[in-house]
């Protein structure tokens, strides 16, 4: 137990050193420390929601998290359709579904993959398998 506590203290000290050396203002550092202490014991999805990676579109994050929880176990990957894709949306989707491969807005969805549609669109030739927050999951119709 002592070794574990010493390791945790060393990691905390290293993190504090990195924060102090980085070009951040004191107000920003204080905000980040409060956020870290607030989120320390929370579910990882809630921590990501509080973080900056989901800040560009929180509803999109809810959609991805809902979809991640509903993806069938046999899916080979997930293709995400977003009305106006961005680099941030692509990165968040890849991170959210890892280790399952995820593509944003691919022209062709590989066989065995699930299609996650963000928004009200319902593609032809696809069967809805689950409704999720702000969208739905689809599989190819047989």
Summarised one tens digit per residue, pLDDT across range 66-99 is 999 999 999 999 999 998 888 989 998 998 999 9
The residues spanned by each domain of the chain are 2-41, 57-140
d(CA 131, CA 38): 31
- How far is it, in rounded angstroms, from Cα 109 to Cα 96? 18
The pLDDT tens digits for 104-126 are 987 889 999 999 999 999 999 99
pLDDT tens for each residue of 19-29? 666 676 777 77
Containing 129, the helix (H) or strand (E) segment is: strand 126-132
């Amino acid at each position: 137990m002592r070794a574990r506590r010493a390791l945790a203290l060393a990691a905390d000290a290293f993190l504090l050193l990195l924060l102090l050396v980085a070009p951040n203002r004191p107000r920003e550092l204080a905000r980040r420390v409060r956020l870290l202490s607030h989120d320390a014991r929370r579910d990882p999805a809630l921590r990501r929601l509080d973080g900056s990676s989901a800040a560009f579109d929180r509803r999109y994050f809810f959609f991805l998290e809902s979809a991640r929880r509903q993806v069938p176990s046999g899916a080979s990957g997930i293709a995400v359709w977003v009305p106006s894709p961005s680099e941030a949306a692509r990165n968040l989707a890849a991170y959210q579904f890892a280790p399952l491969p995820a593509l944003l807005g691919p022209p062709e969805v590989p066989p065995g993959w699930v299609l996650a549609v963000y928004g009200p669109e319902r593609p032809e030739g696809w069967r809805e398998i689950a409704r999720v927050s702000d969208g739905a999951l689809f599989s190819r119709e047989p």
